[in-house]
Structure 1
Amino acid sequence: MPAHGAHWRRGALAALAALGLLTAAACSAGADGTPEITTRMVTPVGPSPTPTLPPGVSPTPLVPPELIVSTLEVYQAGAVLVSVTGDIIGGQVEFLGRKFPLTKGSQSQYTFVPVDTEDPPGTHRLTVDVRMPNGTRGTLEATVTVLATPWTVDYLEFTDEQTATLLDPQVVADELALLKSIYVKVTPVKLWSGPWLIPTQGALTARFGEQRSINGAPPSGHHGGTDIGAEEGTPVVATNSGTVVLARELRVRGNMVIIDHGGGLYSGYAHLSSIAVAEGDHVEAGQLIGAVGNTGLSTGAHLHWEMAAHGILLDALRFTDGTNGF
């Protein structure tokens, strides 16, 4: 699968217009001359008190927002890191009909915009609405292209006992509902920093998104994680820093740890033979959280590694190989 490097595009907003004027500016243009990032600011209508300053003191101007997107081309099951710098107090990103709140980071407000496995390939508009301390609202826009991912097919065989218990539709649905209830929560604090780590050493045995044929049935669905085969007991570490929000045994995923990285982003580690952390613990990138195992619905010792943003499962390897632009 070809990898695309980062395409960083920046768009600086025009200075705020006085007296309620509307300002529009094209900040970056594509090859055909059409704007790739555009901005619009609107100052609230109505009288406002004239500020009183000591003689010789000038008002401090607001720093206009600047939009930064990690890439303008993203694969299905990838993510775009969207950041807004400048004097803003909040906002949200809209892409493919979904809305995601911005989270305050150390240098910007940001969010990871997820692309689902079945989202349509093609060019789509990404819109960011921001709020400034003086009541001004701004709109920033970028054009992002979703690239199709060719999904592989894996053929799996399970025993009658595994099929009757762990593959029971209600068992699977209940577990997915539990995970969904965790993955949709947004902790409005940035808990991660720096690069993302591959959590264990071993061979890649199953890619995210591949379709599964169970006991000869037609392929269906998409694998919700990345499988890394390794000997039982091989250390598993946190891909980045965050708070442990789940550390317990599940029916299908076996012993599992989930880490909240803040801003609606989570990582999950399943089929562990042992768990080395507890719910509520803060962990650092590279910290031991468990060991590779064969618990739950598993045909051999391996780590099932998940990443999810705003409730949408993503290809974890794209957080480490540069194809998301970060």
Structure 2
Amino acid sequence: MIKSLSIQNYALIDKIEIEFHHGFSVITGETGAGKSILLGALGLILGNRADLNIRKDKSKKCVVEGEFLLDKIDLEHFFSENDLDYDQMVILRREINSSGKSRAFINDTPVNLNLLKELGEQLVNIHSQHQTLNLGKFEFQLNVLDAFINNPVLLEEYQNMYRAFRKAEKKLQYLISRNQRLKTDEDYIRFQLSEFESVKLEKQAFEHLVDREQLLSHSEEIASGIMQCRELLDEGDTNAVQLLREVVHVMNKLSGYHTPIKSLAERLESVEIELSDISSEIAALSNETEFNPGELAEIKNKLDKYYHLQQKH
């Protein structure tokens, strides 16, 4: 039952506090006395939508607070399910501040309007003559049935079993949802793995492909340079290997006359051998630089996949 109602800055009311006692209470008055205003204020703490213009003084907040005794109604499960502090005396409060923002509280805990309305519907019935709206509500019918059976032991046993069932149902839904998320994650990871396996590039293989791609992309420029080097080294009419060979021949003839000349001749012979080897290796490069458009396209495709995965992951 409702024990008290406190109203501040609502409609025509500056401040009023009403105490309700056990039994039947009647508020009477002629038309315009303010009976509907009291019901409107009560409706605020029962979860009704607020008219932001209802504040008497627009510079101050409107506060409506009601105390309800829960000695004849079992709502402990409601408070437990919604993580609210339970006590047989529950306080509902609604505030509308000077900016028009509305806030709702149950036992000083901020709640949303839907939760306040859900609790309010179980505490108070507001109806007019000939209205029987509650008769069609499942919760009301259930309360009437429980009151008719009048077996609190059986009711408590059923409620405990029902709460255990709801808890198990929530756990099952959580596990089903979690399993679906894990399956989705597994599918995505397998997809990523297949992407990586489609590339299969070790570090050395990747470096080789990069080098090969550079070689094939610039094969014409490289081939031209190699040809020029071969001409200068040993294929031209006047080439470095031939000139060096003649120098070595002259130095060898003079080496018997002076010891340092012999040493220089030996060094020149080593240079000639090294230069000849270099010339041969440069000639061998000619075969590697032959342009192959099919191979180049395949390498570029592999590298593109690798770079895409590298950027993606």
How does the TM-score come out when normalised to structure 1?
A: 0.20
Q: Which has the higher contact order (CA 8 A, sep 6+)?
A: 1
How does the TM-score come out when normalised to structure 2?
A: 0.21
